[in-house]
Amino acid sequence: MKNTVTTAVPGRQEPLVFELSRPGKVGFSLPEVSGPEPSSGVEEELVREEMPEGFPELSETEVVRHFTRLSRLNYAIDQGMFPLGSCTMKHNPRINERTARLPGLSKIHPFQPESSVGGALEVMLELEQALCAITGMDACSLQPAAGAHGELTGMLVIRKRLLDKGDERRTVLVPDSAHGTNPASCILCGLEPEDVRSGPDGRIDFDAFAERVSRGDVAALMLTNPNTLGIFEERIAEVCALMHEHGGYVYGDGANLNAMLGLTRPGDQGIDVIHLNLHKTFTTPHGGGGPGSGPVAVKEELAPYLPVPRVVQGDDGKLSLTEDFPKSVGRVNGFHGNFGMMVRALTYIREMGAAGLRQAAQDAILNANYLRHQLSKVLDLPYQSPTMHEVVFSDRSLEKRSGVTTMDLAKRLMDYGFHPPTVYFPLIVHGALMTEPTETESRSELDAFVEAVKSVCHEAAEDPETVTSAPWNTPLRRLDEVRANRQLKLRWQPDAGDGE
Amino acid sequence: MLEAIGASGMAELLSAIPEPLRLRGDLDLPPALSEPELLARFRELGARNASAEECDCFLGAGAYNHAQSTSVDALISRGEFFTSYTPYQPEISQGTLQSIYEFQTLVCQLTGLEVSQASLYQGAMAFVEGMLLASRLQKKRRRLLAADSWHPHYLGALRTYLEYLDIELDLVPSDPATGRIDEQALASRLGDDVAAVAVQSPNFFGVVERLDRAAEAAHGAGALLVAGFSEPYSLGWLKGPGELGADIAVGEFQAFAAPPSFGGPYVGVLAAKRNMVRQLPGRIAGETVDADGRRGFVLTLSTREQHIRRSKATSNVCTNSGLMMLAATIQLSLLGKQGLQRASQLCRRHAHHALERLASIEGVQRVHSGPVFNEFVLELPRPAGEVAGALAERGILAPVPMSLFEEQRERQGLFAFTELTGPPAIERLESALREVL
């Protein structure tokens, strides 16, 4: 079917902005340029002769319509449930957007005199204190711009602390169920990640862990709690104590903090360093993939190693940013961190208060257990351990019975108006369906989701092709990812015809 | 619901948390605020800051205060955009995926390079990733050269990342008179162990570098040229780094995407030669077709990324700068050829007009003779930090004191100009400076 340049209606193409472009159009009015061209003294060879070929030229109306139509091709939390495990797709409060856009909190420059940004520094300090209170930690850096960035920062802190003590060990144990960013971040610190396996109950295999650590060469353990199966590591206090006994540290991946808010604290569990995902637990928006924000909180012993600059309060109560921390790992960010996300997260924390946050965690756990109870009737539940805020199912029986896989199930769920759960993660589960409803969902939304899953499982038995060729009702049918990898087309070109 | 599950109560569901680890009492947080109280609280915090809303802003140094079309915020505030997720299920994420593809195209067009990706956290991180990319591509060469006129925080971040990697960073000095990289110093530092030479243009001092000559020098020694920018409006005036010989371009698109926002979120860009594509970090959108043969877009080449390759990934990066990337894409679409050209003309005119006016003040001197776009360093008769404080009290945000980066440059300050700082604003700056100096 040939591509046609048409307006986007369900089932039809929205052209690229370059394809809508017509010479001479402009969409933004700027003041007139007057007077002679200044002589900058720059060499002619460095100056553009003309704007790039194919650079867009559209009117404001056309740009507004194009992106409005594009937006309507997306599914988003604003429309319905998004049970993506490990992502904590909870509602993004509109008030966050209002506070973050206040001119006094958005039109401020990172290098303004400190006396002119006292309010901004207070936002940062207040957030640091709140995050420490929530996690049971002693100090915090808001610099990392994303979760993975926070992980790297946390591991740099651990590495530097160890080297400071003359300890050159490099082995870091990482559960086989861990997020890929964990081992990837280790490599960047010159550390050597090594898998530690999970037991049949889904938790870290304590004996295997203890044996490995007893060899004396393990510098740290990276752990997510609850883990990526949504299971609480019951022996975490023992695990941390054992790691500490051998002079090592425990890094907590805070992606699953939503299960712990107000109920338990990583600091009390023995965790030394934790990163937080403001875009998960703390409702800063996912924005189609970012920006995130990944603050790192640490125990007192590790505080001197946090990145600089840090917000400090003088004896006179005045706040300032300082780099005067000689043991710091250095800078990880060009500026102070994603301030716009700090405002949003603080707004959420101030809106919820202690009781609200605890209620959120409880509701998240309740909702996940409800889904577990209902969906384990139609899907395999590989681990029987108690569920916290997310639950992982497997497609093993489904596939055996009908040939329908997790991928097919996910695609067919979209026809029912739901974003599917996270698929194929964690790797230790066959056809994993990692399901995290969050506290946002009401019982009726959960019931609708359960009905949809049951329906798809029924279709898998009665009419598998409906499922294996899904989706049918989305703006586009199943997309060929193999072809995208093989025939790389990563940008629009002016002279390329687009009837591929 | 508890009944439906067959649980006796919430406590049963929480029993997985061992008793000694359960929090006694409430978290130590201030009491919850209602919506009106929240707004009041944050307005109060905001009111304590001087902002570019009511002040003239002449601050740059990597973050710029440009005019942004009101349509940008209206569009990125659509819930379908800002509450959507990473487009792992492409069939219901074509809005996000197509805008990534458009962004990638715009980055290639402006930088004059062949492939790009879905954005990185910010310019400093793009710089780091670009240097690591260059190292991966030239595995046998363990040294990186960078002009000392890069943004000091970009260099700082790079040093943090290189700490435990088997890569050495050498800085190449700038000519103090021109503000440009010292070409002889560069030549003497090149060797067959150098993987890449990195030059920022316009550089941290605002001076435009000869990227073409840097490319020649680098290539002559078998090294790659990594070119960078933090003021992307310069690309409306100057040729893209790729056109001047750069192999990798890295930079900051904050100026297109968002107000200065006290440091973030911003949006980093990275572009490279086509044959480097499998080593690129982060997400990439590619074109494909659906089951009915219709064009669509998907995330592609995922085997580079951490969720597949884990410890062998090209980078640990997961998120991109999603919404900011979209904002930049929309702003560029609105500006178009004419708008970007006009904006860059206004920046240049305003900067050169200001240069003339400010240099006429007794005791004020232009520090570098090299050509500039919209930013330059002035030497003042008083410490620039004091001047900035005094000007802030007069509703003017200027300059960025160089002492934030180098103690010995205490009397030097960076002044930046955009479409928003025209002759009336410059007049206010000049008279305020005359008052305080």
Model confidence pLDDT, tens digit, residues B54-103: 999 999 999 999 999 999 999 999 999 999 999 999 999 999 999 999 99
Query: Which tokens sit at A358?
Result: 């605890």
Q: In this structure, how many other beta carbons lie within 10 angstroms of the beta carbon of residue A295? A: 31
Q: ∠ CA(B38), CA(A290), CA(A227), 5° rounding?
A: 90
Residue B305 has pLDDT above 80, yes or no: no
Helix axes A181-188, A147-164, angle to 10 degrees: 40
Binary contact (B95, A87; C-beta < 8 A): no
Within a 13 Å sphere around the CA of B433, how many CA atoms are in the beta-carbon half? 28
The pLDDT of residue A69 is above 60: yes
| C-alpha separations of B22 from A231, A267, A291, A439, B76 in Å | 16, 12, 33, 20, 41
Whether B163 and A353 lie within 8 Å, measured CB to CB: no
**CB-based contact, B215 to chain A, within 8 Å:** no
Give the sign of the dihedral formed by CA A437, CA A440, CA A443, CA A449: negative
Residue of B nearest to A203 (CA): B16
pLDDT for A2 equals: 27
B20-41 average pLDDT score: 97
Chain A: give the shortest CA distance to residue B432, in Å: 16
CB contact under 8 A, B318 and A147: yes
Looking at A376-424, list the stretches that DSSP marks H as alpha helix, in order from N- to C-terminal side.
396-402, 406-415
Q: Give the model confidence (pLDDT) of A329-349 as tens digits.
A: 999 999 999 999 999 999 999
Q: By the CB < 8 Å criterion, does B278 face chain A?
A: no
Is A8's pLDDT higher than 60?
no
Q: How far is CA A26 from each of CA A398, B219, B258, B331, rounded to the nearest angstrom?
A: 55, 39, 20, 11
pLDDT tens per residue, range A283-334? 999 999 999 999 999 999 999 999 999 999 999 999 999 999 999 999 999 9
Look up residue B238 and give its two tokens. Answer: 């100057």
- Chain B window 167-196: which residues touch A at a Cβ cutoff of 8 Å? none
- pLDDT per residue over B242-273, tens digit each? 999 999 999 999 999 999 999 999 999 999 99
* H or E segment to which residue B376 belongs: strand B375-379
Mean pLDDT rounded to a whole number for chain B:
96
CA B378 to chain centre: 24
Element (H, E) at B130: helix B123-137
- What is the predicted pLDDT for the residue at B302? 84
Q: Chain A within 8 Å of B36 (Cβ-Cβ)?
A: no
pLDDT exceeds 60 at position B142: yes
| A458 CB-near residues (< 8 Å, 6+ apart) | none
Q: Is B360 on the interface with A (CB under 8 A)?
A: no
In degrees, to the nearest 5, what angle opens at C-alpha A113 toward C-alphas A112 and A115? 125
CB contacts, 8 Å: B317 with chain A: 146, 148
Residue in B237, B275, B311 to test binding to A, most A beta-carbons within 10 Å = B311
| Of A392, A369, A393, A371, nearest in space to A380 by CA | A393
Q: Where are the beta strands (DSSP E) in A197-257?
A: 218-224, 249-253
Indicate yes or no: CB of B89 within 8 angstroms of CB of A420. Answer: yes
- Residues in chain B within 8 Å Cβ distance of A186: 311
What are the pLDDT digits (tens) for B107-120?
999 999 999 999 99
SS3 state of residue A421: coil
Contacts of B415 in chain A (CB under 8 A): none
Mean pLDDT for the stretch of residues A6-13: 49
Give mean pLDDT, residues B173-200: 98
Which residues of chain B make contact with A410, given a CB cutoff of 8 A? 89
Tell me the C-alpha distance between A82 and A437, whole Å: 7
From chain B, the residues in CB contact with A147 under 8 A are 318-319
- CA-to-CA dists, residue B246 to A179, A241, B198, B370, angstroms: 35, 52, 9, 21
Question: pLDDT at residue A6 above 70?
Answer: no
SS3 call for A198: strand
Rounded-to-integer distance, Cα B119 and Cα B129, Å: 11
Residue of chain B minimizing CA distance to A73: B95
Per-chain mean pLDDT for chain A: 94
Q: CB contacts < 8 Å between A and B, how many?
A: 659
3-state secondary structure of B128: helix
**Quick one: pLDDT band at residue A12, thresholds 50, 70, 90?**
low
Q: Please report, as a single letter, which amino acid is at residue A370.
A: Y
Q: Chain A contact for B58, CB < 8 A?
A: no
Average pLDDT over residues B37-52: 98
Listed in sequence order, the DSSP H helices in B271-364 are 306-309, 322-359
Specify the pairing of strand A310-313 against strand A319-322: antiparallel
- One-letter amino acid at A283 equals T
Contact call for A484 and B287, based on CB within 8 A: yes
Q: In whole angstroms, what is the distance from residue B422 CA to residue B428 CA?
A: 10
Amino acid at B223: A
Percent of chain A residues past pLDDT 90, beyond the cut: 91
Phi, psi of B294, deg, nearest 5 = -85, 145
Distance CA B230, CA B257 (A): 13
Residue type, B135: S
Beta strands A218-224 and A249-253 are: parallel
Taking CB atoms and an 8 Å limit, are B51 and A498 in contact across chains? no
Note whether B279 contacts A: Cβ–Cβ < 8 A: no
Distance, in angstroms, between A14 CA and closest chain B CA?
Answer: 9
Give me the phi and psi of A74, to 5 degrees please: -95, 150
The answer to whether residue B293 neighbours chain A at the CB level (below 8 Å) is yes
**A119 contacts in chain B (CB < 8 Å):** 44-49
Q: Say how far apart CA B384 and CA B43 lie, in whole Å.
A: 30
Q: 């490599």: which residue's tokens?
A: A187
Q: Which of B43, B64, B76, B318 to mutate to test the interface with A (most CBs of A within 10 A)?
A: B318
Q: Does B27 touch chain A (CB under 8 A)?
A: yes
B402: CB partners within 8 A, 6+ apart = B377, B384, B409, B410, B412, B413, B414
Closest C-alpha to B225, from B300, B159, B146: B146
pLDDT of A4 over the 60 cut: no
Q: What's the gap in Å between the CA of A393 and the closest CA on chain B?
A: 17
pLDDT at residue B407 above 60? yes
- Tell me the C-alpha distance between A293 and B323, whole Å: 13
Q: Is the minimum CB–CB distance between B301 and chain A shorter than 8 Å? A: yes
Contact at CB, B91 and A478, closer than 8 angstroms: yes
Cβ separation A26–B23 shorter than 8 A: no
Contact state of A476 with B94 under an 8 Å Cβ cutoff: yes
In this predicted model, what pLDDT tens digit does every residue of A407-464 receive, in sequence order?
Answer: 999 999 999 999 999 999 998 899 999 999 999 999 999 999 999 999 999 999 999 9
Residue B317, pLDDT above cutoff 90 = no
The rounded distance, in Å, linking the Cα atoms of B346 and B331 is: 17
Interface probe with A: pick from B333, B338, B375, most Cβ of A within 10 Å: B333
- Up-side HSE of residue A244: CA atoms within 13 Å toward CB? 13
Which residue carries 């702003």 as its tokens? B331
Q: What amino acid is encoded at B40 in this protein?
A: A
Per-residue confidence (pLDDT) for residue A10, from 0 to 100: 54
Residues A138-185 pLDDT 10s: 999 999 999 999 999 999 999 999 999 999 999 999 998 888 888 988
Full DSSP string of B387-431: HHHHHHHTTEE--EEGGGT-GGGTTEEEEE--TTS-HHHHHHHHH
Look at B120 and A499; give whichever has higher pLDDT.
B120
Provide φ and ψ at A90, rounded to 5°.
-95, 170
Cis peptide before A307 (omega within 30 of 0): no
Cα angle A252, A255, A258 (rounded to 5 degrees) comes to 110
The helix (run of H) or strand (run of E) holding residue A312 is strand A310-313
For CA atoms B232, B238, B243, B245, the dihedral sign is negative
State the nearest Cα–Cα gap between A193 and chain B, in angstroms: 8
Q: How far apart are CA A140 and CA A303, in angstroms?
A: 8
Please name which of A127, A160, A159 lies closest in space to residue A142, comparing C-alpha atoms: A127
Out of A84, A133, A386, name the one closest to residue B27 (CB). Answer: A133
Helix (H, G, I), strand (E, B) or coil at B250: strand
Element (H, E) at B75: helix B70-76
Rounded to a whole number of angstroms, the distance from the CA of B297 to the nearest CA of chain A is 8
Within A295-377, residue ranges assigned H as helices are 339-375
Query: Which of A101-105, A398-402, B2-6, B192-196 shows the lowest per-residue confidence on average (mean pLDDT)?
Result: B2-6
Q: Give the closest-approach CA distance of A117 to chain B in angstroms.
A: 4
* B120 class by beta-carbon count within 10 Å (0-12 exposed, 13-18 middle, 19+ buried): buried
B110 vs A495: CA distance, rounded Å: 17
**How far is C-alpha B237 from the geometric centre of its chain's CA atoms?**
18
Integer Cα distance of B233 and B207 in angstroms: 14
Q: Which two tokens stand for residue B365?
A: 């001197």
